[in-house]
Structures are given as structure tokens and as C-alpha cells.
Amino acid sequence: MKILVINCGSSSLKYQILDMTNETLLCKGLVEKIGIDGSVINHTKIGQDKFVLETPMKDHKDAIAQVLAAIQDPDHGVVTSMSEIGAVGHRVVHGGEHYADSVLIDDEVMKVIEECSDLAPLHNPPNIAGIEACKALMPDTPMVAVFDTAFHQTMPPESYIYALPYEYYTKYGIRRYGFHGTSHKYVARRAAEMLNVSLEDLKLITCHLGNGASVSAIKHGKCIDTSMGFTPLEGLVMGTRSGDIDPALVTYIREKENLAPGKANEILNKKSGVLGISGVSSDFRDIEAAVEEGNERAALALKVFAHKVRFYIGAYIAEMNGCDAIVFTAGVGENDITMRELICHDLGNLGIKIDPLKNKIRGKETIISADDAKVKALLIPTNEELMIARDTFQIIKKLK
Ligand code: AMP
């Protein structure tokens, strides 16, 4: 069965088609500038050069129509008709407390995803637009929603309840939800396979370190804690997001800087993180280049980032009473040799020790810990699309 995976943002859309008989990727693409001037589709059939087409796309339905045309194109397509697509798997950011797993989309599910828009106003509405567009153009194809929050629904209340008046939880659903769940789930499963140990017998700490970043504690296959909270702002220092701060700072900065409503939120989400500290960039490559030139604030940004990852690693080792393996994934985790070294430096008493030679690697599945380290350190490139396709395939198989 071939599965189309769709990940819709407000003005962009990523897609892939995977053949699930052997989990091979057939094509992938990115549509950008949906609803604005310069709409463009970049489509790559695996093994061929990229095909780029600039054409007006006023909404997500136009974008999906272009995707369907590209995947059926006689030159760079991968199917001869849409009937070859067995199902569509949609990435949906927020499933609230309703879904602890992926689910077949029906009217009831759509209603819940819409309700959850209140919790993820920037993310769920474009996800819904993508689903609606696919439903309009492929009315007979079953669709599955795969939620970023689902994997974290196994957290116990002591991990997800904020110490606020309890009625905010019951009235407004204010609690910690966690994000990047599809990535944490994928790398946890791969880690178990790489170590040749059942996931149920492992205590794992998974570090998804990209432009957005989060750490999860996964005990016996279940997430018991994660660093992101009610929104993806909590937790680690990120590219442009502050992560954990003293909440009193919001009102303090608002008053000092005389900020307009909404501005403080924008500063914490878009102007903070390693960008805010370094003043250079949110991209770790630029920051490391600045460090080479002697930029001290750039060096400080890297130290603060690493400090916070170490802080969570320590906390999760305490929460799980130990840890068998730490996994590094996403842009920084997969590629940044220096950052992995900084994070794992001088943690020998916790059993964490990376081998500097094994660590000199980018973007490949491998073990980077020293042979005598008690805690294995793994590098695992994430593959959220494959995880979405797998979940979709499992659900659709049961329908047949
Ligand atoms: P992601 O959000 O997972 O796509 O990660 C994107 C981030 O990964 C970029 O902003 C960079 O900071 C980081 N990154 C990608 N490649 C490298 C590299 N070779 N060295 C250091 N950081 C990298």
C-alpha cells in the first residue's frame, strides 16, 4: 500500500509518498508561499532531479491539487492514478487529552481537532485546512490523524499538572501536553531495535534538538515526562524560544519595555533562545562560526543551551531511577558534534561518556558512547514521516 503523508503549516505544506510493502520513500516535496505571491511547489521523485513549479495557489486546496498533479505526472510522478494511494496520514499538532494514539479521521475527530485549535491556534487550523483540502479532492481515500501530543498522554498527573489553581485545568485544559511526540516515539523504537532490547525493558532519554527542542523520559516504552508544556515554549532553550523562565518576567519586561499586548509572547517565541543570547542567529552553524571568531555571546549561547539539556537529563535520570540510553536527534542532535560533546561533558558519574572519535559523525544511525559507558549514547536521525506512514498503515490495515 502507498501512503501519502501530509504536514500542513499556515503557508507551507510538506509531503511524502511511502510504499509500505518495504517502507521505501517514493517521492517528497514542499509547497511554499500558499496564499501569498510566489507560490511554488518543489517535488522530488527519489532518484531524479528536483522539479520546481511556480504557480498561483490561493489556499491549501490549490496546494493539494498541485501535489496530486505532481505525484501523477508522467515524468516525475510515482502513481498512475489516485486509486493507488491507500490512505493519507496527516500530522496534527494538538489532540488535547482526547487522543493517546493516532486515529482514523471522521466527523467526530474533525470536531475534536477543531476544539483543540483553542490550545494550538497557530498549528491546528492549517492542519484542518490540509485535511479538508484532501477530503475535497480525494473523497474516497481514508485519512488518519497523527498527533504531536499523543505520545505524551501517558505522562502521570504529577508530570503534567501545573501548580496553579486546579480549576484552570478542569475549566480550560491548562496542563502540560508536550510536543514532538512522533519524533520521540520513532527514535525510542529505533533505539530499542539498535540495542536489540525490548522497548519495555529500557529507560530512555530522547533529546530532540532542532530549531524547536525537547527532551523526553521514556520508561518501559511509555513517556513519563517531557520538557515542553502547555505550548512548545516551555523547557529547553531553543533557536528563538526562551524555554523555561521565571514567569514573573513576563509582566516585568512588559512594564519596563512598555510592550503592546501580544508583544511579550512574540519576544519569548521569536526573539529569544540562542538567537536572543548570541545576537547572531538561531542557527547553530552560524553561532559556532561566530565562536570561532571570538564572539563571547555566541559561546555563552551554546553553553546556556547545553546547560539546560544537561539539567533535564539529570532530572529524568532521577525520575526514572536510572537510564540505559540517551538518544540525540533532529538538526542539532544529529549534526552538531560540538554540542553533543558539550552536553555529555563530565557526566561520567552518571554513566554517560561519549567516545570523541565515534562522535565525529553527522546524520547517521550509530552508537557514540565509549565502550565502557554504562549509559549508551545513540545518534538516530528522526523520521516523523515514516512514523506517520506506519501509524496510518496499521490503522488502515485493520479496516480491510
Ligand atoms: P530542525 O529543526 O530539526 O530542522 O533543525 C534545524 C537546526 O539544526 C538548524 O537551525 C541548525 O541550528 C541545526 N543544524 C543543522 N545542521 C547542522 C550542523 N551541521 N551543525 C550544527 N547545527 C546544525
Give the closest residue to 269 by CA, choosing from 230, 235, 243, 236. 243
Phi, psi of 326, rounded to the nearest 5 degrees: -115, 135
Residue with CA closest to ligand 1 atom 23: 332
Q: Of the residues 118, 148, 244, 355, which is catalytic?
A: 148
- 8 A C-beta contact, residue 379 and residue 364: yes
Identify how many contiguous H helices and E strands the chain contains and give both numbers: 14, 14
- 8 A C-beta contact, residue 185 and residue 203: no
**pLDDT value of residue 125:** 95
**pLDDT value of residue 400:** 78
Neighbours of 281 (CB within 10 A): 18
- 8 A C-beta contact, residue 365 and residue 190: yes
**pLDDT value of residue 308:** 98
Residue with CA closest to ligand 1 atom 7: 331
Query: Could you confirm whether 148 is annotated as catalytic?
Result: yes
The CA R_g of the chain, rounded to the nearest whole Å, is 21
- 8 A C-beta contact, residue 148 and residue 182: yes
The pairing of beta strand 24-32 with beta strand 222-226: unpaired
Helix, strand, or coil here: 104?
strand
Helix, strand, or coil here: 134?
helix
Residue with CA closest to ligand 1 atom 17: 335
**pLDDT value of residue 339:** 98
Cell of 49: 532531479
pTM beyond 0.85, yes or no: yes
**pLDDT value of residue 56:** 96
Cα(209) to ligand 1 centroid in Å equals 8
Cell of 167: 480549576
Query: Can you name the residues that pair with 225 across neighbouring β-strands?
Result: 217
Cα(208) to ligand 1 centroid in Å equals 11
- Atom from ligand 1 closest to the CA of residue 284: 12
pLDDT, mean of each 10-residue run, the chain (400 residues): 96 97 98 96 97 96 96 96 96 97 98 94 93 96 98 98 98 97 98 98 98 98 98 97 97 97 94 98 97 98 98 98 98 98 98 98 98 98 98 94
**pLDDT value of residue 122:** 87
Probe target for ligand 1 pocket from 183, 187, 207, 211, with the most ligand atoms within 8 Å of CB: 211
* Domains of the chain with CATH codes: 2-147 (3.30.420.40), 197-384 (3.30.420.40)
For 74-110, b/e burial (b = at least 16 CB within 10 A) is: eebbbbeeeeebbbbbbbbbbbbebbeebbebeeebb
- 8 A C-beta contact, residue 381 and residue 334: yes
